[in-house]
């Protein structure tokens, strides 16, 4: 049996290594295609670009490891089934669970490493990657103009444009900043921005300029122009790295996020106390037991001055109470969403590594059924795509408070695991649940009929 375990383990290791390398290359190429257009022309050294790629390899590795386990299981067991090695094992009295055991041990090793990696290494690397990316974006503001958003990286002005085209900028809005004596607002139909040495030159066409001098009793001026130019000296066009203690949810370990959840729950308790106090001291309270405040806000109505209200009724106080409770309720929902957001990330750090076991339970019988077939890769990609889509859907539902984080992240594992157990049960009794060859032949036959 030790020789059998060693043989299957080695059979898994080779396709796992190849698939992991291939997936990482695909992720890197996709990352470069999406992001390198932001970095080109910024004068970055090759070492900075390599550092950025290496830092982003962390999330790629966390995503590629479970998928590589699935591909390795499908290919290795498919190859053994094609060479009739699985048949020889079964003829020797070796059960399906025993044949699957080496793959489960292999999955346990990968899952253990991934859990450690997700909690101890990935958060810090994600944090460093975000800081480096932010520093790169700030190096050359002219290349980072996003239509519809204000750019605050310029030293003296805030800039916003509605459209960026090859000919320049459209609908430009500029506001001055960092000046208590004078405020300037500029609106232009068109313009362009370029960097010349240590200066940023903004040329504007067909616009108007508004300025107010606070030091001169609010002296206001308005002027129209066909063209004008703004020059700003920038001393930080070189890449300057920044540091920040602020971390997003994907830059925290599980322990950090548990602390954030505790802090948020304390804030929720404080909000609850304030809501109860507002309710008890309001005209709405009639001495009865405290109602469900969320249900209360759905049933009570506001009064206007034109409404007919009872004599001496404090309808303004009634409306103020509803407004206060509404405000606290919105804050409660915001904090609950924040708690769910942290909860989703905590469970995701464990759900995806544990998926390695699920992929083995499903992959072994599927690999035996598909045998050594090119369709195995397609099956693996399809399975992982459905699994990943389920995680994204669960995360969205949890963010909207429609599902708990536990259910959102663990439901795909549960569903895939039950399906895998069902397939394994039939495979252990040598019942064909699904035939890949029959599926392909039917697909070709249908296409020929339609043609």
Whether 91 has a pLDDT exceeding 70, the answer reads yes
Residue 82 lies in a domain: yes
Per-residue pLDDT band for 38 (boundaries 50, 70, 90) equals: low
Residue among 305, 342, 333 at smallest CA distance from 402: 333
Same-domain status, 272 and 330: yes
User: Count of domains in the chain?
Assistant: 3
Whether 283 has a pLDDT exceeding 80, the answer reads no
Residue 271 lies in a domain: yes
Q: At which residue do the structure tokens 């992929």 appear?
A: 359
Same-domain status, 194 and 317: no
Residue among 163, 150, 212, 217 at smallest CA distance from 192: 163
Same-domain status, 97 and 219: no
Residue 427 lies in a domain: yes
Residue 287 lies in a domain: yes
Whether 443 has a pLDDT exceeding 90, the answer reads no
The secondary structure of 291-354 as a DSSP string is P-HHHHHHH-----TTS---TT--HHHHHHHHHHHHHHHHHHHHHHHHHHHHHHHHHHHHHHHH
Whether 177 has a pLDDT exceeding 80, the answer reads no
Same-domain status, 114 and 32: yes
Residue 196 lies in a domain: yes
Same-domain status, 85 and 121: yes
Q: What is the pLDDT of residues 100-129, one digit of tens each?
A: 899 999 999 999 999 999 999 999 998 888
Same-domain status, 310 and 394: no
Encoded tokens for 256: 């950090």
Residue 241 lies in a domain: no
**Domain boundary, last residue among 341, 363, 382:** 341
Q: How many CA atoms lie within 13 A of 128 on its CB side?
A: 15
**Domain boundary, last residue among 173, 202, 233:** 233
Q: How many residues does the chain have?
A: 451
Q: Which residue has the higher pLDDT, 340 or 287?
A: 340
Cα separations in angstroms, 138 against 43, 62, 132, 215: 13, 28, 10, 33
For residue 173, the surrounding DSSP H or E stretch is: strand 168-176
Same-domain status, 33 and 77: yes
Same-domain status, 10 and 110: yes
SS3 430: coil
Lowest mean pLDDT among 117-121, 198-202, 328-332, 394-398: 198-202
Rounded average pLDDT over 135-140: 64
Question: Percent of the chain having pLDDT more than 70?
Answer: 74
Residue 243 lies in a domain: no
Same-domain status, 117 and 98: yes
Residue among 200, 202, 222, 219 at smallest CA distance from 210: 222
Same-domain status, 157 and 200: yes
Same-domain status, 358 and 294: no
Same-domain status, 210 and 179: yes
Q: What is the pLDDT of residues 352-403, one digit of tens each?
A: 999 999 999 988 888 887 765 556 567 777 888 888 888 889 888 988 888 8
Q: Where are the beta strands (DSSP E) in 335-429?
A: none
The secondary structure of 68-80 as a DSSP string is HHHHHHHHHHHHH
| Residue 388 structural domain | 2-138+351-445
**Domain boundary, last residue among 233, 257, 281:** 233
SS3 175: strand
Residue 440 lies in a domain: yes
């Amino acid at each position: 049996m030790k020789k059998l375990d060693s043989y299957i383990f080695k059979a898994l290791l080779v396709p796992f290594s190849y698939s992991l390398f291939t997936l990482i290359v695909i992720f890197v190429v996709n990352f470069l295609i999406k992001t390198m257009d932001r970095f080109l022309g910024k004068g970055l050294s090759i070492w900075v670009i390599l550092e950025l790629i290496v830092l982003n390899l962390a999330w790629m590795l966390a995503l590629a490891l479970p998928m590589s386990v699935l591909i390795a299981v499908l290919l290795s067991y498919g190859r053994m089934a094609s060479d009739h090695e699985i048949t020889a094992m079964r003829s020797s009295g070796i059960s399906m669970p025993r044949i699957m055991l080496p793959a489960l041990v292999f999955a346990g090793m990968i899952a253990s490493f991934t859990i450690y990696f997700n909690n101890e290494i990935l958060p810090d690397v994600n944090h460093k990657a975000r800081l480096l990316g932010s520093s790169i974006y700030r190096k050359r503001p002219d290349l980072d103009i996003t239509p519809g958003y204000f750019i605050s990286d310029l030293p003296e002005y805030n800039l916003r444009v509605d459209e960026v085209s090859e000919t320049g900028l459209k609908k430009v809005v500029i506001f001055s900043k960092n000046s208590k004596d004078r405020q300037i607002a500029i609106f232009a139909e068109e313009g362009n921005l370029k960097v010349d040495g240590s200066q940023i030159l903004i040329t504007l066409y067909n616009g108007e300029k508004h300025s107010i001098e606070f030091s001169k009793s609010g002296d206001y001026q308005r002027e129209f122009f066909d063209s004008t130019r703004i020059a700003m000296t920038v001393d930080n066009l070189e890449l300057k790295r920044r540091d920040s203690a602020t971390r997003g949810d994907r830059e925290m370990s599980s322990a950090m996020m548990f602390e954030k959840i505790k802090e948020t729950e304390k804030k929720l308790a404080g909000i609850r106390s304030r809501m109860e106090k507002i309710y008890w001291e309001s005209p709405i309270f009639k001495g009865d037991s405290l109602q469900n405040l969320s249900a209360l806000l759905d049933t009570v109505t506001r009064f206007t001055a034109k409404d007919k209200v009872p004599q001496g009724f404090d309808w303004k106080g009634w409306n103020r109470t509803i407004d206060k409770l509404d405000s606290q309720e919105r804050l409660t929902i915001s904090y609950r969403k924040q708690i769910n957001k942290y909860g989703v990330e905590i469970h995701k750090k464990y759900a995806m590594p544990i998926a390695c076991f699920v992929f083995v339970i499903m992959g072994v019988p599927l690999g035996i059924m598909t045998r050594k077939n090119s369709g195995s890769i397609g099956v693996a990609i399809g399975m992982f795509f459905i699994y990943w889509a389920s995680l994204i859907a669960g995360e969205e539902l949890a963010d909207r408070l429609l599902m708990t984080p536990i259910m959102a992240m663990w439901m795909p594992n549960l569903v895939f695991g039950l399906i895998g157990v069902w397939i394994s049960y039939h495979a252990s009794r040598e019942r064909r649940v699904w035939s890949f060859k029959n599926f392909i032949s039917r697909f070709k036959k249908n296409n020929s009929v339609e043609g």
